[in-house]
Amino acid sequence: MAERRGRGAGSLTYDQEAGRWTGRLDLGRGVAGSRVRVKVVGATRAEARRKLLELRRQHEAGVDVAARGTT
């Protein structure tokens, strides 16, 4: 049976074309009302999950993780 994730745990999917795992985390709504989602990638499922958990911990600690990829 599939493993049930809790609310706010994010999602993990495998990208066959790229050959890597992608994790997405929904951070709620932004100032303009649009959804704020961040993405992490990893070579293995465990690596992507670890990055996703770290991103969630940072978000809960108050770090602005949505702006981490801005140039």
41 near 11, Cβ under 8 Å? no
**Distance separating alpha carbons of residues 47 and 42, to the nearest angstrom:** 5
Instruction: Report residue 16's pLDDT band, with 50, 70 and 90 as the boundaries.
Output: very high
Q: Which two tokens stand for residue 38?
A: 């961040």
Q: Which two tokens stand for residue 71?
A: 């140039």
- pLDDT for residue 69 is more than 90: no
Predicted TM-score of the model (pTM): 0.76
pLDDT (mean) for 15-32? 91
Q: Supply the mean pLDDT for the chain.
A: 86
Element (H, E) at 49: helix 45-60
